């Protein structure tokens, strides 16, 4: 199943590949300082190849990638693919983690940032069209 993400530690959850602006949290940033982005993630740690074949090599439980979805200028992430820190309470059945990065904007305006969070199956669900969650963040950048 797709990972569950939150943009605040105890905030609303998002799960699945279809992101909507209606669920996107709003942030405000300035050109003078990077905007900190933190994401919390939970995953059931279930992996299937469709053939029940075991993993041939160890993989991270969860990976994520930040990108610019839309906006007037360039966006630079400190880490577009930050590592996901395993949090206390994780066990062999459930993964709880947190990832952080920061982002700079080249010009003022309204932006939408995009994050894709994959489970064990990797990018694109390992070819099964499964098991990732997409989130959006709206950012109003002031001069």
What's the confidence (pLDDT) of residue 52? 60
pLDDT tens per residue, the chain (143 residues)?
A: 899 999 999 999 999 988 899 999 999 999 999 999 999 999 988 766 565 666 676 778 899 999 999 999 999 999 999 999 999 877 666 899 999 999 999 999 999 999 999 987 767 655 556 689 999 999 999 99
CA distance 106 to 91: 41
**Residue extents of the structural domains in the chain:** 4-142
What's the confidence (pLDDT) of residue 127? 54
- Three-state secondary-structure class, residue 103: strand
What's the confidence (pLDDT) of residue 88? 87
**Measured between alpha carbons, how far apart are the two ends of the chain, in Å?**
41
What's the confidence (pLDDT) of residue 60? 83
Q: Give the residue among 111, 135, 134, 115 at the shortest CA–CA distance from 29.
A: 111
pTM of model > 0.85: yes
Record the tokens describing residue 4, joined without a space: 């569950």
Domain range 4-142, CATH architecture? Sandwich (2.60)
Specify the DSSP class assigned to residue 73.
S
**What is the sign of the dihedral through the CA atoms of 17, 27, 33 and 68?**
positive
What's the confidence (pLDDT) of residue 46? 76
């Amino acid at each position: 199943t797709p990972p569950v993400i939150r943009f605040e530690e105890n905030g609303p959850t998002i799960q699945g590949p279809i992101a909507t602006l209606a669920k996107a949290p709003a942030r405000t940033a300035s050109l003078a300082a990077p905007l900190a982005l933190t994401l919390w993630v939970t995953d059931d740690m279930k992996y299937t190849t469709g053939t029940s074949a075991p993993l041939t090599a160890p993989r991270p439980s969860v990976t994520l990638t930040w990108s610019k979805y839309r906006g007037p200028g360039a966006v630079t992430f400190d880490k577009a693919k930050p590592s996901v820190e395993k949090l206390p309470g994780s066990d062999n059945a459930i993964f709880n983690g947190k990832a952080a990065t920061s982002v700079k904007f080249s010009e003022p305006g309204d932006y939408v940032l995009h994050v894709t969070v994959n489970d064990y199956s990797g990018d694109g669900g390992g070819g099964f069209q499964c098991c990732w969650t997409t989130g959006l963040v709206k950012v109003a950048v002031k001069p």
